Each structure stands twice: as structure tokens, then as C-alpha cells.
Amino acid sequence: MKKIIITFVALCLSVLSVEAQPSAVKNAAKAVFTLTTFKKDGTILASSHGVFVGNKGEALSTWTPFVGAERAVVVDANGKTMNVKSINGANELYDVCKFVVDGSTSGASIATSPSAKGGKAWYVGYSVKKNLMKEMNISNVEKFMDKYSYYILSTSSPENAEGCPLVNQSGQVVAILQNSKSGNETHATDAQFVNSFKTSGLSINDPVLTQTNIRVSLPDNEKEALLTMMLSSERRDSIKNVQYIDEFIQKFPNLIDGYSSRAQLKVNSDDFAGAESDMQAALSKVTKKDEAHSSYSKVIYLKEIYKADKPFSAWSLDKALEEAKKAYEINPLPQYSHQQAQILYAQKDYQNAYNTFMQLTKTPLKNGEIFYEAAQCKTQLGAPQSEIMALLDSAIAACPQPLTPVAAPYVLARGAKYQELGEYRKAVTDYNQYDSLMYGRPISSEFYYAREQCEVQIRQYKQALDDLTRAIILTPTEPTYWAELSSLQLRVNQFDNAIKSAKRCIEIAPEYADAYIVLGIAQIKNNDKKSGLESLQKAKELGDARADELIKKYK
């Protein structure tokens, strides 16, 4: 009888133990959801499942449904629908990803240690009304990346189980189920691996993540987040850019960067009141008040420079100067003095601006830009050319030696000044150096035209023809370049080419009298007097005073 009782108790304990396992697994079912992705036209692209692993919307699932997706939604175990906000990371090889939804969630915990070969685990499916669970046998465990596990289960998974969690007896998520490689087994990727995904500042350019139109998550690191914002601002997706800025403000409410970026976007769209509201919030919340006042000054300054025709009573250059001074009072950094000097220049207070710039040349901020801006002040003040040239020389000398592309703008400015003074050989020398410094970087057609004008003056006709050709390649519809090319070809007796260039100029600008003058002379020089006189007559009809004398000369 005693033996029967002991056996009965043992049997009860065994049953209780069996019942305890599904109970823990059952709790994990609350974290399972369905995933649906959509194309740009709003039609369904794909569907899968996943599991929440945090209370702030963190989720793990398969990656394939997101490829080509415009947006995605999940439906949790309570039937609540939430939008997928951003992607934390993805891996194509294992077809897994981590993302965040825009709501609070009840997440399952992730197993801290792997399950062993020969052990058991439970598939947990999605259902609002009942729990879908299935015990599965682990037939093999393969290691990858030295610390993660890839599970092969001898039990086949239910249909459409991709993305569902595989959990241990404690209800912890062990892995994410994959498509079956065969009908008799199921594969699953370590949940710790998927949960380790996180974005960096360069994730926005990740070739895997760019396969979906759902944005990547903003990094948690401040510097990385700033890099993401910067890269996003260079793209044409204004909606995502705003989303990154808003998220930055939420994550880093004490930093100025988010507020100033959002304010500038609002200025760009003429929402000056909205920009003012953002900057007032910054003054209130940002820890470094000098940065807040300086950024406020910059936002106002840029608006007053580029949108002066759209007045906003709360803002003016005086207000911008006041904010820059407040920044300096809090923290007397030379960049805040520089900011004041730039505003003074915009106010046409050139003498005070010049004095401030020159004071800055005695600080660690001394650089080419400071001397260049001082030269601009001297120009506006009508100073002797020798003083202006000295400042431009100093701008170049203040740059890192040997010269790098940093010096290019100042070399170009000095070349233009030499050209203005008629010192064409020195101008060409500077222009050539600018061209070298800008190697591999875009150069404007205006530069090539300016250098050509100097080259003609010193009779470097071959170089001048080459530069005009470059200018035309960059801006093929500019009639001035074609007319100049035709004139230069005429000068070096390339009559056929001069005729072709002049005719191309006329095609672009039929009323361009200069083109008819050059065309007429070229035709006459090319032994086509009749056509040449007709071209000169057309120039006369267009009001060119030279045409009448030329007609008399060649008639």
C-alpha cells in the first residue's frame, strides 16, 4: 500500500512538472504578432510573424517581407494594430531582422544561454483566441560567429510559422523560425543574434537596409545619431528627414542639434513662427545655453540673408546679433565673435566687421576664411587693391601647407582679383592651381570661361579653346560660350569650326547678334561672301552697330 501511495505521488509530481512547462510557454504567446508589409501602391507585399522582445516596441522577425516594402504593420495577440516605425538591423543570409513599432508592447525575454542538442523547445504561434504551441526536438546545433547558435529541429513546423519564436521551458525566446529546408525539419536562428542588431551613423547607407523604404532607427549614440541626421538631410526624402529630427529631439532633448535642424526646415518652408517656437523650446531645454543662443542667432541670420523679402516681426539682423552676443557672454569662444562679425557685415557695418575679423586672426580660430572675409570688408570699404591682395595672400598662407582643397576658394578669389586688375598671367597661375586643388571635385563652367578669358589675353589659344570646350560640356545651352568659341576659332583661322559654333549659338539663341557677326566674318573668310553678308545683315537688323561698317568693308 505504501508503495502504491509513493508511486501515485511521484506520478502527480510528474504531471505537475509537465503542466508547468506549457504554462511558461503560454505566457510567451502574448508577445507573438503577425506582420504585414505593403507596396507603394498600398497593396499587400508579404506577411510573416514575429515576437516582441521589449516594452518599447522592439521586435524580431524575418527580413524577406520588408524587401521592397513601403510600410508595414503588426497585429499583436490582443488584436491591436501598430505601425512599424523603423528598422534596427537585418541579415540576409539568416533572413532575420529587428525593428521597432510605434507603441508600447509586452515583450518576451530572450534566453541567455543556448538550448542543447537533443533537448526540447516549443514553437509558439500567433492566435488571438487560443494558444498555438508545439513541442519540437532539437536534432542539431551549429555555431556561427563563435557565439551564436543555428538550430535544426527534427520536427516539422506548422504552415506559415516563419518569424514565430522558438522558446525554452521557461518561456524564453531561443530562436526565430525560418522557412523549412525540407518537409521533415525546421531551422531557427539564435534570438540573441537578432536582438544584437543596432544601427550606426552609416546604417542609413547599408545596402541591405536600403532594400526597404522603411527608415532605419536613429542610433542611441549621440555622435552616431548626428551622423545619421546629417546623411538624411542630404537626401530628398523630406518625410524621413523630419522623422529623424523628431526622434533625435525625443532621444536627446538637452542637445541643440535637433531643435535647430527642425527650425531650419521650418524656415525653408516659410513657417517662421514654428521655427521661433522650436528655438524657444531649445533655449528652455538645452543644457548648453551658449550653443542654444548661437544656433538661434544662426537660424535668424540665414533667414534674414536668404528670405529678407519675407519679413517676420520677431526676427531681424539686430536680433541675430543680440543672440550671438548672448552666446559669447555665456561662453567667450572665438566662433561666437566670428558669428557677430558675419552679422555686422550683413548689416553693412564693414568697418566694425573688419575690426572683428582681424581680432580673430590673433585667436586659435585664425584660418583662411577669416582673412578672406576681412578682404571682402576692405573691398566694400573701397580700400587700395594692395591691401585687399595682402589679405588674400594671408588667407592662402593661413591654410595647411602644402595647400589642400581647403585653400581652393581663396586661390580662386585671388585669381579673380588678378583678372580684375588685368594681371592675366598671375590670374592664370592661380586658376591653374585652383584646378589642381579641385582635382576630382566638380568645377563650374564659369571657372573655365573666366580662365579662358585670361588665356586669350596672354595668347594661350590652345588652352583657351580647351577651356571653352569644357565650359560647353558643363553648360551646353549657354550661348555666350558658343559665341566666344566661334570668335576664338575665327581668330586662329579655324573657319569651318567657327561657322559650326556660330550656327549652334544661333540655334540656342536666335536673337544673339554677336553670333551673326562672327558667323558672317567666318563665312566671308571661308570664301562664302554671299552667306557672310547675309549674316552681317541679320546682325544689323538685330541692332548691332558694328554690322554696317563690316558690310561696307566686305561688300
225-256 pLDDT tens trace: 999 999 999 888 889 999 999 999 999 999 99
Task: Report the relative pairing of strands 186-190 and 173-177 from DSSP bridges.
Answer: antiparallel
Q: Which domains does the chain have, with CATH numbers?
A: 1-217 (2.40.10.120), 477-555 (1.25.40.10)
Dist CA 495 CA 480 (whole Å): 18
Q: Quick one: DSSP state of residue 210?
A: G
Q: Quick one: DSSP state of residue 406?
A: G
Determine the pLDDT at residue 22.
64
Beta bridge partners of 136: 121
Q: Is the pLDDT of residue 532 over 90?
A: yes
In this structure, are residues 51 and 32 in contact, taking their beta carbons and an 8 Å threshold?
yes
CA angle 263, 264, 270 (to 5 degrees): 90
Ramachandran angles phi, psi of 331, nearest 5°: -145, 100
Region of 459 (left: φ > 0; alpha: ψ -120 to 50; beta: rest) is left
| pLDDT tens string 64-83 | 999 999 999 999 999 999 99
Determine the pLDDT at residue 21.
44
Q: Which residues of 292-316 are buried (b: 16+ CB within 10 A; e: fewer)?
A: bbbbbbbbbbebbeeeeeeebeebb
Beta bridge partners of 86: 100
200 burial via Cβ count (<10 Å: 0-12, 13-18, 19+): middle
CA-to-CA separations, 241 to 44, 228, 265, in angstroms, rounded: 26, 10, 10
Q: Is the pLDDT of residue 450 over 60?
A: yes
Cell digits for 471? 565650359
Average pLDDT value for the chain:
93
| pLDDT tens string 139-183 | 999 999 999 999 999 877 777 889 999 999 999 999 999 866 556
Determine the pLDDT at residue 11.
36
Task: Report the relative pairing of strands 58-61 and 71-75 from DSSP bridges.
Answer: unpaired
Q: What sections of 2-140 are H helices per DSSP?
A: 2-28
Determine the pLDDT at residue 92.
95
Dist CA 479 CA 211 (whole Å): 43
Collapsing DSSP to helix, strand or coil, 288 comes out as coil
Cell digits for 441? 571635385
For residue 136, which of 112, 167, 113, 173 has the smallest C-alpha distance?
A: 167
Determine the pLDDT at residue 5.
38
